Amino acid sequence: MRALSFAEGYPGGRRRPGFTLIELLVVIAIIGVLIALLLPAVQAAREAARRMQCVNNLKQIGIALHNYHSANDCFPPGGIPAYEILTNAYAANQDFSAHARLLNFLEQQPLYNAANFNVSCFNQDTVGIMMNSTVTLARLNVFLCPSNPPPSFKLVRCSGLGSFTAPGNNYFASYGSSLEWQRTQTGGPPNGPFGYSGAPTGLRDILDGSTNTIAFGEWKIGTGNGGLYTIPQDIIFVGQYPPGVTRGTPLMSMPAGAGPFLQWISQCAASLRNSGSRPPNGTGNATAAQGEDWAFVLPGYSMGSTLLPPNARYPSCNVNGANSQINPGMYNLSSYHPGGANILMCDGSVRFLKDSTNMNTLWKLGSIAQSEVISSDEY
Structural domain contains residue 86: yes
Distance of CA 72 to the CA centre of its chain: 26
- What span, in angstroms and rounded, lies between the C-alpha atoms of 209 and 199? 19
User: Does residue 63 carry a pLDDT above 90?
Assistant: yes
- What span, in angstroms and rounded, lies between the C-alpha atoms of 345 and 218? 12
Distant-in-sequence, close-in-space partners of 338: CB < 8 Å, separation ≥ 6: 47
User: Does residue 98 carry a pLDDT above 70?
Assistant: yes
Average pLDDT, the chain: 77
- What span, in angstroms and rounded, lies between the C-alpha atoms of 336 and 46? 13
Structural domain contains residue 1: no
- What span, in angstroms and rounded, lies between the C-alpha atoms of 254 and 283? 28
Residue 118: CB atoms within 10 A of its CB come to: 9
Vertex 77 angle, CA 203 and 214, to 5°: 50
Q: pLDDT tens-digit profile of 229-259?
A: 677 777 777 667 777 777 667 667 777 778 8
Q: pLDDT tens-digit profile of 190-229?
A: 788 987 666 788 899 898 889 999 999 999 988 766 556 6
- The pLDDT > 90 percentage for the chain reads 26
- List strand residue ranges (DSSP E) for the chain, in order: 154-156, 163-165, 171-174, 214-218, 235-237, 286-287, 303-304, 316-318, 329-330, 340-345, 350-354
Amino acid (1-letter code) at residue 140 = L
Beta-bridged to residue 351, according to DSSP, are 343
Look at residue 188 in the predicted model and tell me its pLDDT: 56
- What span, in angstroms and rounded, lies between the C-alpha atoms of 320 and 257? 18
Structural domain contains residue 228: yes
- What span, in angstroms and rounded, lies between the C-alpha atoms of 236 and 251? 21
Q: Which residue range forms the structural domain that includes residue 259? A: 42-378
Q: What ranges in 218-347 are assigned the alpha helix state H?
A: 258-270
- What span, in angstroms and rounded, lies between the C-alpha atoms of 266 and 312? 12
Cα–Cα distance list, 219 to 105, 147, 302, 340 (Å): 23, 11, 10, 10
- Mean pLDDT over 346-368 rounds to 92
Look at residue 239 in the predicted model and tell me its pLDDT: 65
Cα–Cα distance list, 305 to 54, 134, 143, 260, 298 (Å): 19, 28, 17, 17, 12
Q: Write 105-109 long-range contacts (CB < 8 A, 24+).
A: 105/63, 105/64, 105/65, 105/67, 105/68, 106/60, 106/61, 106/64, 106/140, 106/142, 108/140
Structural domain contains residue 18: no
Number of domains in the chain: 1
Dihedral, CA of residue 136, residue 138, residue 144 and residue 147, to nearest 10? 130
Structural domain contains residue 23: no
Q: For residue 156, what is the DSSP state?
A: E
- Mean pLDDT over 62-83 rounds to 83
Look at residue 318 in the predicted model and tell me its pLDDT: 80
- Mean pLDDT over 299-326 rounds to 78
Structural domain contains residue 6: no
Dihedral, CA of residue 169, residue 197, residue 160 and residue 142, to nearest 10? -20
- What span, in angstroms and rounded, lies between the C-alpha atoms of 330 and 231? 13
Secondary structure class of 297 (helix, strand, coil): coil
